Homo-oligomer: A and B are copies of this chain.
Amino acid sequence: MSQLRKDPISGRWVIIAGERSKRPDDFRKAPEACSSEGSGFCPFCEGSEAKTPPEVFALRPGPTPADSPGWQVRVVPNKFPALSRGGPVPRNGEDLFVWMDGRGVHEVVIETPDHGREMADLPVDGLRDVLWTYRERIRSIERERQYRYIQVFKNKGREAGASLSHPHTQIVATPIVPKRVKEEIYGAERLFDRYGECVFCRTIRLEVERTERVVLRGYRFCVLAPYASRFPFEMRVHPVRHSARFADLQDEDLLPLAETMKSVLLRLKNALSDPPYNFLIHQAPNARMTLNGGRPVSIDRSFHWHIEIIPVLTKVAGFEWGTGFYINPVSPEVAAETLSREHSSGE
């Protein structure tokens, strides 16, 4: 099992080793060869169901049995989980060395049986089914109570960290609220106190007025190039109506969200020759939080869920690791202008 360890100075937690443990020799590699895909076998393809752990969920249009062909979307536990299921665990250790057993959930959402059909190329109702599946898994894992945060994320392309190219998303539930999420929640609460409204709602209103950083403005969803974008062509997808929780997404919002995601992922693909990317959903945690003085954070009114889309076009380097500053060679105004005029056809 993996171990969660806390850095005493920064308060940052890390997940050490476990099932993903590697030997030093795993990193000794021959000079990079011009290979594309490796062996050709894919455990996520239809017909290879026995090569994954048993499914925890699947969308099956017909009456086909679990772990057999016939699915549209399939969810399985990660074979090499970063965190493993189990009961709540105490913090251990002493002095500067604090740790917990690596308890949590690590699942893979296989988005389609079709190995070569990336999310941008799914039909809109296929993408809606994927989003529906995210929502169902979040609701189900939240009912287990002992996990504090659920991170849904996608790594597309080797440079973005994907080890398998078959389209998939990952869901990790953690026993603590992660640092990045805490920062956003405390920041949003502080700004709610200042402005008397949700800072995401305010951002959407001000940006739509200014127009220059708007990539796409729909009735239910709005896509912005963030004012302080860290990365070239970074985008943020917001529901227009205030909501802290992805799990509260209404059925009638699923298709518009699928259309929005398909549109911006296609624009990205067309504008930048199909770049690798990450996306991640930021949502309210499954836990109460308090401010320094003990006052509870009103997460549901001050936080607003969103999806961050991060194309992988530059390297994170020494300056970024040292400072936490990012150097972005493309302004969000140029990014929004490029992406908003890009056509989004691709089927």
Contacts and interface: CB of A to CB of B under 8 A. Distances in A.
Interface residues of A, number: 94
Contacts of A49: none
B330 A308 contact: no
A13 B338 contact: no
A256 interface: no
A155 interface: yes
A315 B139 CA distance: 29
B183 A329 contact: no
B183 A17 contact: no
Given A8-B199, A160-B317, A161-B315, A29 B273 contact: yes
A178 B24 contact: no
A151 B331 contact: no
Contact of A282 (B155, B187, B315, B322): B322
Interface string A269-296: 0011101001111100000000010000
Contacts of A82: 319, 327
A20 to B, nearest CB: 4
Contact of A272 (B27, B273, B316, B331): B27
A7 interface: yes
A334 B313 CA distance: 32
A341 to B, nearest CB: 11
Interface string A309-347: 010011111110111111111111010001000000000
Interface stretch (A110-118, A215-223, A226-234): A226-234
Interface in A227-258: 227-230, 232-233
B161 A323 contact: no
Nearest to A94: B206
A137 interface: no
B279 A318 contact: yes
Given A271-B24, A272-B28, A328-B15, A319 B199 contact: no
Contacts of A275: 27
A181 to B, nearest CB: 7
A179 interface: yes
B8 A179 contact: no
Interface of A: 3, 5-17, 20-22, 24, 27-29, 32-34, 82, 95-97, 149, 151, 153-155, 158-162, 170, 172, 174, 178-181, 183-184, 187-188, 191, 199, 202-203, 206, 226-230, 232-233, 271-273, 275, 278-282, 292, 308, 310, 313-319, 321-332, 334, 338
23 contacts: A8-B187, A8-B203, A10-B183, A11-B183, A14-B229, A14-B326, A14-B328, A15-B328, A16-B328, A17-B330, A24-B272, A27-B273, A29-B273, A96-B203, A155-B318, A161-B315, A161-B317, A161-B318, A174-B325, A181-B322, A181-B323, A278-B321, A280-B322
Given A154-B318, A170-B318, A279-B318, 6 more contacts: A24-B338, A151-B323, A153-B318, A153-B321, A161-B318, A180-B323
